[in-house]
A and B are shown apart, each in its own frame.
Chain A
Amino acid sequence: MKAIEIQSLQKHYGDVKALDGLDLIVDPGCVFGFLGPNGAGKTTTLRILTGLAGASGGQASIAGVPVSDHQAVSRLIGYLPEEPVFYRWMTPTELLDHVGRLFGQSVDERKRQARQLLERVGLGEAARRRIGGFSRGMRQRLGLAQALMNDPQVLLLDEPVSALDPQGRKEVLEMIADLKDTATIFMSTHILADVERICDQVGIIDHGRLITAGKRSELLARYHTDAILIELEPGQELALAAWLNGLKADWLSQLTIEGVTARIQVKDIELARKELLGSLARSKLPVQKFEVSTPALEDVFLQLVNANGGGK
C-alpha cells in the first residue's frame, strides 16, 4: 500500500489554479522531498492531505484511507505546519498532553511520550515554561514533537527547518532522518541542500503540477549535465566576459556568468576540459578556481523549473 497517493488533485481559488491535476505517489518508509518554487502548490497539497482544506477535484489518500475521511486520516498522520502556532498560555508538557488526549492516549502514555519527545527535540529544560515566550526555533521543535505524539505512519512536514539556525537545522534534519524507520516522511521545502542531505525520493512541483518524481539518485542521473566552474581573481569581470565572448565550440551548451565566476555547461567534458585549460593558459587570465562540478539537485531543479516557466 502506498503511503500517499494523489490522483488528478485540483484546487482552484476563483480563477487561480493552485493545484492543476497533481499526480503523486509516495512509497512507504521513504523520506520524500516535495520541492517547488514559492507558490507552486506545496502547502496547498499538505493542507488538503491534512483535511484543513478541501480539494476542488481529484483524489488523495494516506495509507489507503481517503483524506475525505478526516477522523481516520488524522490518526495516521502527524503534521507540522510551516509556522507552527500554539496556545501561548500552555506549557509544552500541557500542549502535548492535550494532543495526546485528542488521540485518546492514557495518562501514562501521554506523560511518557511527552517527556521523551521533549527531550528528543531539545526542549526538556523548557518543558514547564510558557510557550508564549518561545523563539521561532523553539516553536518549530515543539511543532515536531506534537506531530510525533501519536507515532504517525506518515509525517507531513511543511518547511520543517526554515526557522532554525544552522546547528538546529542539522539536529532536526538528523532527527527527521532517524524517523524514517518508523514513518514515511513527506517534507515540503524549497531548500535543496536539506533535500540532498536526507531525502531519498524527490518530487518537483510547479504551477500546481508535478514536473518529475523519483529516487534522488535517479533524478540526478536522468537530468545530469556536465559543467565546469571557472573563477578569476577579483576585479576581472570584464576580462572574463571578453574571454567568454571569444569562446566558440561545439561542446558548449550553456553559459552562466556571475561576477568573476563562470559556469559552463558542456556536452563533452573531456574535450571541454582540455580546450578550456589551453585557452585559459593562452589568455593569461588570473584563474583562482577551475573545477569540474558534480551534478547537484539544484541543477536538476533549476533546469526543470526554468523549462516549466521559471516558477512564475
Chain B
Amino acid sequence: MNLFTSLRKELLEAWRGKRFLVAIILLGSFGMMSPLLAKFMREIFSAIPGAEIVSAIIPEATVLDAIGQYVKNIEQFGILLALLLSMGLVAVEKERGTAALVLSKPLSRSSFILSKFLGVAAVLLVALLVAALGGYYYTLFLFEALPVGSWLALNGALLLLFLVVAAITLLFSTLFNSQAAAAGAGLGTYFLLSLIGSSPTLAIYIPGHLVTWAVSLFGGGTVPVWGSLVVCLGLIVICLTAACLVFRRQEL
C-alpha cells in the first residue's frame, strides 16, 4: 500500500541528496576509464621512470583485458556503493524518528522497506547504465565492438550482485539502529559468501560466480549458472522478506 508514493519520496531524496550524481560519477568514470587503462597500461608504465622494465613484460592489450579491467573496477566500487547507499536506509529513519512520522499514516511497513530497496536499485541501475554505455563506447573505440548480448548479461550479473549486497545491508539496517553496524554486518556477510566460494563444490552457487560466468561469455563460455542465479534471487527475496517481517514487529 502506498509503495509508489514512498518510492517517489526515495527517488526525490536520492536526487536532492546527490546520490544519483555521486553514483553516476563514480561508476560512470570507472566504466569509461577501464578500457582506457587496459589499452594504455604499457604506455603508463613506460612513462614512469624506473618502471620501463614492467612495460616491456606487459603484453599488448586485448578486448578481454578491457572487459577484465571493467569488471574488476565496477564490481569493487559497485559493491561499496550498494553498501553505502543501503546501510542507513532504515536505521537512520528509525533513529531520527522520521519513520514514526510516515508510518503513523496509511503506509504499510512492507511498502516502506520495499520502497527503500527499489530506490537504491534505481540509483544503482542508472549509475551502472552510464558505466555500461561508457565502457561499451570506449571498448568499441579502442578495441572492437563487443557482443551486445554478452555485455548486457555481464552488466545484468553485476547489477544482481549489487542488489544482493543492498538487500543484505538493508536487512541489517532494519535489525540494527546504527548504520555503521549495518554496514559492518553487510560487508561481513558478503565476505562470508565470498569465503564459501573458495570451496570448488560451492563456488558455483555464490553470487559472485554469476559475474565470472558473464565474463566467460566473451571467451565463448556457454555453461549456464542457474544455481548462482537462483541463490542471488533467493537471497534478495529472503533478505527483503525478513526485513519486512522484522520491521513489522519493531516499535518506533
**Which A residues lie at the B interface, using CB under 8 A?**
47, 50-54, 70-71, 74-75, 77, 79, 81, 83-87, 89, 98-99, 101-104, 146, 150
Contact = CB atoms under 8 A, between A and B. Distances in A.
Contacts of B252: 47, 52-53
Interface in B82-111: 96-98, 100-108
Contacts of B105: 74, 99, 102-103, 150
Contact of B103 (A52, A77, A84): A52
Contact of B17 (A89, A104, A146): A89
24 contacts: A47-B251, A52-B104, A52-B251, A52-B252, A54-B249, A71-B1, A71-B108, A74-B104, A81-B97, A81-B100, A83-B97, A84-B101, A85-B97, A85-B98, A85-B101, A87-B13, A89-B17, A101-B2, A101-B5, A102-B2, A102-B102, A102-B105, A103-B106, A146-B101
A122 B108 CA distance: 31
B72 interface: no
A81 B101 contact: yes
A103 B5 CA distance: 10
Interface string B212-252: 00000000000000000000000000000000000001011
Interface residues of B, number: 24
B106 A102 contact: yes
Contacts, number: 62
Interface of B: 1-2, 5-6, 8-9, 13, 16-17, 96-98, 100-108, 249, 251-252
Nearest to A48: B251
A113 to B, nearest CB: 14
A83 B107 CA distance: 21
B251 A53 contact: yes
B111 to A, nearest CB: 10
Given A83-B97, A89-B17, A101-B5, 19 more contacts: A51-B103, A52-B100, A52-B103, A52-B251, A52-B252, A53-B251, A54-B251, A79-B104, A87-B98, A89-B13, A89-B16, A98-B9, A98-B102, A101-B8, A102-B2, A102-B102, A102-B106, A103-B105, A146-B101
Nearest to A89: B16
